[in-house]
Amino acid sequence: MTDVTDVGLRERKRLATRRAIQVAVLNLATERGLDRVTVDEISRVADISPRTFFNYFASKEEALAGDNPELPGEEAINVFVNAGRDADLLAGIAELLVESSEHSVEDYRVSLQRRAILKQHPQLFAMRMASMHQFEDELDAVLTRRLAVDDPILAANPVELSRKSRLVTFVAFAAMRHAWATWGDSDAGTDFPERLRSSFACLGLLFTKADA
C-alpha cells in the first residue's frame, strides 16, 4: 500500500489525497477535539468532496488511526523462519516488528500528533489494534512456518500447530501493545523500536524467571 514502485500518476494522486485526508483530520482533531470534527470539515480542508472521503476511509476514526503495518520483505521472513530452534523466538519476532515499523516511517510531527490523540481516546487505540486483523493473520502465517520448521513433530499435527501459532501471535501482539503504551506514556524521549525490543525482552524474562 505504501509501495512507491507503481509511480503512475493515478497512484501518486491517490496516495497524495490519502495523506491530505490524514493530515487534515489530525490537524482538526488536534486543534478542536475529535468530537467537534465532521467529515464535511475534513473534506473542505483536504480539498475534496465529502463523498470522496468515503472512497478512502469508512469513517473519520479510520482516517485518524493511521496505516496498518506490513511485514518486512521475503528475505527477512525466510531468515526468521529458518533461524533454527536455538534462536530466541521472541527476539526474532521483535526484530520482524522493528523492521516493519521502520518500513513505513512517516513524518515525526504526524506521529506525535496521532500519539497524542490516541492517548486522549483509548477507544480509538483499541480500534486501531482491532483493525490489524490482516497483519495479525500475516504474522500468524509466518509463525506457523517457523514453528513447523522448529518442531517437525508439531508440524505433523495441524490443529495443535495452528493453536500454538495463534497463541504466539496473540502474545506478540500483547507485547506490541505494551510497546505502544509505554511509548505513548513517554515524553517523546525514546523511539518506538527501542520500546519494542524492551517489551519483548521483558516478556522473555517474565516466565523464565519462574523456574529459578
Partner DNA sequence: AATTAATTTTGCAGGACATGCAACAATTGA
Partner DNA sequence: TCAATTGTTGCATGTCCTGCAAAATTAATT
How far apart are the C-alpha atoms of 196 and 67, rounded to whole Å? 18
Query: Least distance in Å: CB of 3 to DNA?
Result: 14
| Cβ proximity of 61 and 127 under 8 Å | yes
Q: Which is nearer to its own copies, 17 or 131 (CB)?
A: 131
Residue whose C-alpha is closest to residue 28's, from 48, 43, 49, 13: 43
Where do contacts with its own copies occur on this chain (CB under 8 A)?
88-90, 122-123, 126-127, 129-131, 133, 163-164, 166-168, 170-171, 173-175, 177-178, 181-182, 199, 202-204, 206-208, 210-211
Query: Least distance in Å: CB of 66 to DNA?
Result: 16
Angle ∠(21,188,180) on CA atoms, nearest 5: 70
Q: Which triple of cell numbers denotes residue 65?
A: 488511526
Where do contacts with DNA occur on this chain (CB under 7 A)?
8-10, 13-14, 17, 37-40, 48-52, 54-56, 58-60
Partner from its own copies, DNA, none binding residue 177, C-beta < 5-8 Å depending on class: its own copies
Name the H helices within 47-107.
50-56, 60-65, 74-81, 89-103
Gap between the terminal Cα atoms of the chain: 46
Partner from its own copies, DNA, none binding residue 39, C-beta < 5-8 Å depending on class: DNA
Partner from its own copies, DNA, none binding residue 14, C-beta < 5-8 Å depending on class: DNA
Query: Least distance in Å: CB of 212 to its own copies?
Result: 10
Query: Least distance in Å: CB of 164 to DNA?
Result: 36
Specify the residue for cell string 518486512. Answer: 72
How far apart are the C-alpha atoms of 198 and 204, rounded to whole Å? 10
Q: Which is nearer to DNA, 31 or 74 (CB)?
A: 31
